[in-house]
Amino acid sequence: MAEVMQFQKTPCWLDWHADPSKPRFKLPTGAVDAHCHVFGPGTEFPYAATRKYTPCDASKQQLYRLRDHLGFARNVIVQATCHGADNRAMVDALLHSDGKARGVATVGRGVSDAELQAMHDAGVRGVRFNFVRRLVDFTPRDELMEIAGRVAKLGWHVVIYFEGGDLPELWDFFTALPTIVVVDHMGRPDVGKPVDGPEFELFVKFMRQHSNVWSKVSCPERLSVTGPPALNGEQNPYRDVVPFARRIVESFPDRVLWGTDWPHPNLKDHMPDDGLLVDFIPHIALTPDLQRKLLVDNPMRLYWRESA
Ligand code: 0GY
C-alpha cells in the first residue's frame, strides 16, 4: 500500500484524454511528434524525490498507440521534471521504439562520458535545461554551460524551457550556448499581449539574431486563454495562440518543430483532445510546404540526421 500511495498523482492534475478524436488534418508522411513524454509507470520507473508534481502514469505503449492513432511516424521523447535526471523511463521507451523515437535527457555535471555515450546509442540527441520556477530548483549556470560543452561534442543540442518574461535575464546565457538551442513552446508568450508587442518582439529578435535558435510552436492548450473549440464554440482551436505560432513558422520555417506534449503535465483547466491539437497545425502552417518543413524535414534533420 505504501508503494501505491507513493505514486498517487497530484490531485488537481487532470488525467490525459483516453479517447482522442481522429484528426481531420492529414499529417504528411513521416511526420514527427517532436515533444512528448513518458511517465513511469511509477512502480517500474520511480518518480524523482525532487519532483514538483506527480503525474498520471503514461507508458511507452500508450504513447506509441497515440502516435499510430494520430498518424505520426516518429516521436521525440523529452525528459520531464517529474523524473529528474533519472532518464531510465525515457531511454527504455527509445529502446522499445524500433528506431522510431529519439530522446532529450536531463543530466547533472556528474554524468560520465560512458553514460552519455550509452544514451547516444539509445537515441538521445539533446539535453533539456529548465528555467520554469514552478517546475525546478535552480541549477548554477556554470554547471549547465559545462554540460552544454560536453554534449556539443556528441553533436547534441540544448532544449530550453522558460517563461516569456524571463528572456531578458536569460539572454546572455542562452546566446553563449555552443549548440543548436531549441526553445520549448515559443518561450511561453503571454498571448493576451499583442503579437507585435515588446515581449514577443524580443523573442523574434532572439531567433532572428541567432541562427542556432529553433522553436517548438507547440502547446496552444497551455498558452491559450480562449481555450479549445469545445469551450468557446469556435471552429478555430486555440485561436489566440495562432498569430504567435504562425509568425514564428512563417519567419523561421527551417527552424520550427511541433509536438503534442502528451500526456500534458500540469494542466488543470482542461485536458486537450490530441486529435484537435493536430487540427491546430494547418492554422499555423498554412501551406503543404510549411507543414512538411515543420513536421518532417526539420525534426528529421535534427534527430535522424543520418536518414534525413
Ligand atoms: C511541458 C510542460 C510542462 C512540464 C514539463 O518537464 C516538465 O515537467 O515540461 C509544464 O508544466 O509547463 O513541456 O511538458
Q: Say if residue 233's pLDDT is above 80.
A: no
And the C-alpha cell for 263? 500526456
Give distance in angstroms: CA of 80 to centre of ligand 1: 6
Q: Say if residue 231's pLDDT is above 60.
A: no
Question: Tens digits of per-residue pLDDT, 40-86?
Answer: 999 999 999 999 999 999 999 999 999 999 999 999 999 999 999 99
Q: What pLDDT does 18 receive?
A: 87
Q: How confident is the model at residue 26 (pLDDT cuts 50, 70, 90)?
A: very high
Q: Say if residue 237's pLDDT is above 80.
A: no
Q: What pLDDT does 166 receive?
A: 97
How many other CB atoms are there within 10 angstroms of residue 31's CB atom? 24
How many other CB atoms are there within 10 angstroms of residue 305's CB atom? 10
Question: Tens digits of per-residue pLDDT, 268-307?
Answer: 888 999 999 999 999 999 999 999 999 999 999 999 998 7
Q: Could you give the CA distance from residue 238 to residue 139 in angstroms, rounded to a whole number?
A: 33
Number of the ligand 1 atom closest to the C-alpha atom of 261 = 14
Q: What pLDDT does 230 receive?
A: 59
The residue from 33, 57, 184, 261 that is catalytic is: 261
How many other CB atoms are there within 10 angstroms of residue 236's CB atom? 13
Testing ligand 1's pocket by substitution, the residue of 135, 159, 219, 267 carrying the most ligand atoms inside 8 A of its CB is 135
Q: Could you give the CA distance from residue 65 to residue 59 in angstroms, rounded to a whole number?
A: 10
Question: Tens digits of per-residue pLDDT, 117-159?
Answer: 999 999 999 999 999 999 999 899 999 999 999 999 999 999 9
Mean pLDDT of 226-254: 84
Is 261 known to be catalytic? yes
Q: What pLDDT does 3 receive?
A: 43
Protein residue closest via CA to atom 6 of ligand 1: 80
Q: Could you give the CA distance from residue 124 to residue 302 in angstroms, rounded to a whole number?
A: 11
Protein residue closest via CA to atom 4 of ligand 1: 265
Helix (H) or strand (E) holding 165: none
Q: What pLDDT does 250 receive?
A: 98
Protein residue closest via CA to atom 9 of ligand 1: 80
Per-residue CA distances from 166 to 118, 174, 263 (Å): 34, 11, 26
Q: Which of 16-25, 30-39, 105-114, 123-132 has the lowest mean pLDDT?
A: 16-25
Residue 162 carries which side chain, given as an amino acid letter? Answer: F
Q: Residues enclosing ligand 1, CB less than 6 A?
A: 80-82, 135, 161, 184, 222, 261, 265-266
Q: How confident is the model at residue 6 (pLDDT cuts 50, 70, 90)?
A: low
Q: Could you give the CA distance from residue 261 to residue 194 in angstroms, rounded to a whole number?
A: 25
Between 236 and 166, where is the model more confident? Answer: 166
Mean pLDDT of 235-262: 94
- Hey, CA dihedral for 118, 121, 122, 126, is it positive or negative? positive
Helices (H), the chain: 2-6, 60-70, 88-95, 113-122, 141-152, 167-175, 198-209, 220-223, 229-232, 242-251, 274-284, 288-292, 298-303
Question: Tens digits of per-residue pLDDT, 89-125?
Answer: 999 999 999 999 999 999 999 999 999 999 999 999 9
Residues in the chain: 308
Q: What pLDDT does 1 receive?
A: 35
Q: What pLDDT does 15 receive?
A: 85
And the C-alpha cell for 220? 496552444
Between 268 and 230, where is the model more confident? Answer: 268
